[in-house]
Structure 1
C-alpha cells in the first residue's frame, strides 16, 4: 500500500482540487473506503484549509499500514475483550514509535472520523471506541461566567490525555537580537511585518503591495490605520479559510512599510519581467511560493545567527502575547484585550486566543512595556 497524490486535478462543481491524496494497495487497486472518506471529509468542507489534507492522508496511510503489517481487518470492530484496533494503533504510536501524545491525538482524530463515516455507510456495525464523560479544568478567564458545562465534557475513550503545550514566543531582548542579526533589508521587513501584525506565514507571503499607503495622505486623527485583508479583492491576499478580516497597523509602522516599498523593494522587483502583487519578493523578484514555506528557513537561519531557536509562527505568538500584555497594562484604552487580539489574529473562536492568557499569567511578574512602541524604537537599531 502507498499514499500517492492525484496526477490530474480532481474537479467537483467546477472547482479543481490538485494534490489530492489517494491510497493505493500494493496491487494498485484503490483503497475504496479510505478514498471515499477523503472525498467526503476533505472536499465537502469538513476541513477548510487544504494545508490540512496531507496530515489527513498520512494519518489514514499510517493506520492502514499498521493494519496490513499485522494482518488485521479494519472492519473487525467486535473483538470482545481484546484491545480495539484503534486502541492498539494508539499504543503502537505512543510506545513503539514514541510519538508525542498530541501528535498521536491528531492521527487518532482523523482515524475516528473515518470510522464514523464508515458507520454511516454501513461498512461497520459499530464504532471501535466509545465516548465518556470526563471532568475538565474550567477556565477562570474571559467568558468563564457563561460556561454551563459544569466542568464536564464528552471525550473519546481511545484518545490519550491531552497535554497543553503553551506556544513559545520571543522576549523583547530576543526580538532585538533577531533583527540585529538580519542584514538583508527584505528579510528584516518580513520579520517586522510578522511582529507588528501577527500575520500567518501564507498571509505574510501574499501581503499585497496595494495595502501599503502613504500614511501622510491618510486621516491624521488616528494613531492606527485599518487594513482589510480581503482574499477576493483581486490583490492576491490569502487568508486561512479565505476569510476576510480587518487589522490595525500603527501609523509609524505603515510609514516604515511605505519607505520600504518606495526605497528598497524596487531592487528585487526589477528582477522580474512582470509586475508582482505581493509586497515581499524572493531573490528572483518573485513571490514566495508554497504558502511561504521558505519564510521558515529564512527566519530560522536568522535565529541561528542570533543564537535563538525561532520559526515564522513564533513571531505570530510573540505579537499576540506582547500585545495582550500591553493592552492589559493600559485599561484606559477602552479596548477588550482578548477580543482585539482575536480579531487581529483571525481566530474563529476566542477559545483559541485564550491560550495567550496562560502565557500572560506566566510572565505577569516581568516588566513589559508597550509592545508596538518598543518595536518602533528598534527600527533605527535593526
Structure 2
C-alpha cells in the first residue's frame, strides 16, 4: 500500500469513527461515507483545508434540488458534512453554518398539511392523535357516509373555513355518526346531539373547548349541510372550563432564550416576539409582505382570514435584509435550474400563472430543499416545516435555564404582555394580535395584575 493510500484509509477510518461517535451505526454509516465522497469528488481541484462556507452551502443547494432525494436522506447528507468539517477539518467558518436549519428545514410538508391540504380532491385526513382502533372506526364511518362528508367539506370551503377546521369538523361529524351506528343522520336531531355532548363531558371528560368544537361541527352539519337546523338543546352537561393564564416570559427570560438561538431559527424567534405573530404566520411569511420603508409587516390571511399590520422590529431589520439577500440568490439559482416555483393560495395559481416564480411571492423562510409537491406533482420549494422552530425553542429554553413550559406561542404571549406593560392600550394590542374580540386580549391584563388586587403579603411586613 502506498503512503497516499494509507493516508486516505486512515482519513476514512477516522471519519467513520466520528460518525459512530454521533450514534450512527451500520448499515447507515456507509451512506455518510458516500455523501462525503460525493462532496469531495465534486471539488477535485481543491483540498478540504482550502474549502469555505460557500463551497459547502452551494453543494447542499445543488443536492437539495435532486428529485430522487427524500428529506431524511438530505438531512443525512447535511449531517455528514457537519461531521466532516466541524469535527475533522475544523476550519473556523464551519461553526458559522446554520446546520440545524439546513437539517430541520428539509422536512417535507405532509399531504394534509394546513398550507397545501386543500390542493387535493380527497377528503381531509383525521387531525386527531386517536388510537389505531379509533382511527380505523373514523375511516370506516368516513367511507360509509362519503357523500355526506363531501357535502360537509364543500360547505366549509364555501364558507372559507380554515383547513384545520375542515379536519376537526369532519372528525366530529364522523364521531357523532359512529356513536349512533346504523342511524340515518337525517332521522336524528336534537336528542341525539344532546346525548352525544353529554357523553363527551361525562364519559370522555373532554375539555370545554373540545365539547364546544363538537357542538359547532354538528350545528354546521344540520344547519348548512342537511338544512335541518337544530332547535334548543336544553341544559346538557357542560364540560368544565378551567381558567388558565398563558405562559409569559419575563424580559430577562426572553433575552436569555433569544441569546441561545441563532441563525434562521433565531431570526424567526425574534420575529415572533418582536411582532406578536403566530407560528404559522411567521413560517408562511412572503417576501412582498415585508415593508422596510414603512417599518412594518403585513400579515396576510391570518386566523379568521383577516389581514393586519404589525411593526417590523428595527433591531432585526439588517439581519432580515441579509437573510433575504441569501434567499434571493437561492431563488435565482432555482430559476436557472428550471425550478423556483412556490405554492400559491386558492385560485391565484390559475389567475396569475407566472406569479409562482416571482421573487415577491417566495417564502421568507423556505425549505432547504426542493420537493415534489404531494398534491400537484410539481417541483416546489415550500416553506420550512414549523416543527423545526418549535423543537428549537424548547431546546433553547432548557439551555437558558427557563423552568416554565415554553413553546413558540409563549413568545406571542410575552409580546402582548410586554406591550401592555409599556403603556399601550388594550385596543392597540388587540389589533396587533389580530383578535376578533377584545375579551380574548383581556387575558393579558390578568397576567399583569398582582395577586389579591395588589395586596402585599404579610410575610413582607
Classify the TM-score, shorter chain. Answer: 0.5 to 0.7
- Secondary structure of the equivalent of 1:247? strand
Larger RCO, structures 1/2 (Cα 8 Å, 6+ apart) = 2
Give the structure 2 partner of residue 177 of structure 1. 256
**1:107 offset after TM fit, Å?**
1.7
TM-score scaled by structure 2? 0.52
**1:211 offset after TM fit, Å?**
5.1
Q: In structure 2, how many angstroms separate the alpha carbons of the residues matched to 1:295 and 1:27?
A: 33
Give the structure 2 partner of residue 43 of structure 1. 157
Give the structure 1 partner of residue 302 of structure 2. 239
Between structure 1 and structure 2, the one with the greater Rg is: 2
**1:259 offset after TM fit, Å?**
5.0
Deviations 1:102-150 (A, max 9, x none): 22222222123323346634xxxx737526xxxxxxxxxxxxxxxxxxx
Give the structure 2 partner of residue 166 of structure 1. 245
Q: 1:188 to 1:26 in 2, by over 3 A?
A: closer
Give the structure 1 partner of residue 91 of structure 2. none
Q: Does 1:227 align with 2:296?
A: yes
**1:338 offset after TM fit, Å?**
1.5
Q: Does 1:298 align with 2:392?
A: yes
Show structure 1 runs of 5+ residues with no match. 7-14, 132-155, 219-224, 232-237, 329-336, 366-382
- Secondary structure of the equivalent of 1:120? coil
- The 8 Å contact of residues 86 and 129 in structure 1, kept in 2 or not, is answered as no
Give the structure 2 partner of residue 139 of structure 1. none
- The 8 Å contact of residues 170 and 314 in structure 1, kept in 2 or not, is answered as yes
Give the structure 2 partner of residue 58 of structure 1. 171
Equivalences for residues 190-229 of structure 1 within 5 A: 190-210=268-288, 218=293, 225-229=294-298
Q: 1:85 to 1:282 in 2, by over 3 A?
A: same
Q: In structure 1, how many angstroms separate the alpha carbons of the residues matched to 2:389 and 2:249?
A: 17
Which of 434, 437, 442 pairs up with 1:349? Answer: 437
**1:62 offset after TM fit, Å?**
1.6
Q: In structure 1, how many angstroms separate the alpha carbons of the residues matched to 2:408 and 2:395?
A: 11
- Secondary structure of the equivalent of 2:180? helix
Equivalences for residues 130-141 of structure 1 within 5 A: 130=233
Q: In structure 1, how many angstroms separate the alpha carbons of the residues matched to 2:266 and 2:151?
A: 45
Give the structure 2 partner of residue 252 of structure 1. 315
- Secondary structure of the equivalent of 1:229? strand
Q: In structure 2, how many angstroms separate the alpha carbons of the residues matched to 1:309 and 1:49?
A: 28
- The 8 Å contact of residues 279 and 409 in structure 2, kept in 1 or not, is answered as yes
Give the structure 2 partner of residue 67 of structure 1. 180
- Secondary structure of the equivalent of 2:169? helix
Equivalences for residues 109-120 of structure 1 within 5 A: 109-117=216-224, 120=227
- The 8 Å contact of residues 276 and 411 in structure 2, kept in 1 or not, is answered as yes
Which of 316, 336, 351 pairs up with 2:412? Answer: 316
Deviations 1:61-84 (A, max 9, x none): 22222222xx655455589xxxx3
Show structure 2 runs of 5+ residues with no match. 1-110, 113-117, 126-137, 341-358, 371-380, 455-461
- The 8 Å contact of residues 394 and 406 in structure 2, kept in 1 or not, is answered as yes
- The 8 Å contact of residues 152 and 170 in structure 2, kept in 1 or not, is answered as no
- The 8 Å contact of residues 141 and 177 in structure 2, kept in 1 or not, is answered as no
Give the structure 2 partner of residue 127 of structure 1. 230
**1:324 offset after TM fit, Å?**
1.6
**1:189 offset after TM fit, Å?**
0.7
- The 8 Å contact of residues 394 and 407 in structure 2, kept in 1 or not, is answered as yes
Give the structure 1 partner of residue 15 of structure 2. none
Q: In structure 1, how many angstroms separate the alpha carbons of the residues matched to 2:440 and 2:141?
A: 41
- Secondary structure of the equivalent of 2:312? strand
Deviations 1:314-355 (A, max 9, x none): 221221121122125xxxxxxxx1121122122233333233
Q: 1:92 to 1:311 in 2, by over 3 A?
A: same
Q: In structure 1, how many angstroms separate the alpha carbons of the residues matched to 2:180 and 2:162?
A: 28
Q: In structure 2, how many angstroms separate the alpha carbons of the residues matched to 1:19 and 1:229?
A: 32
**1:44 offset after TM fit, Å?**
2.0
Q: 1:287 to 1:188 in 2, by over 3 A?
A: farther
Q: 1:294 to 1:85 in 2, by over 3 A?
A: farther
How many residue pairs match? The answer is: 291
Give the structure 1 partner of residue 208 of structure 2. 101
Which of 278, 283, 294 pairs up with 2:363? Answer: 278
- Secondary structure of the equivalent of 1:240? coil
Give the structure 1 partner of residue 8 of structure 2. none
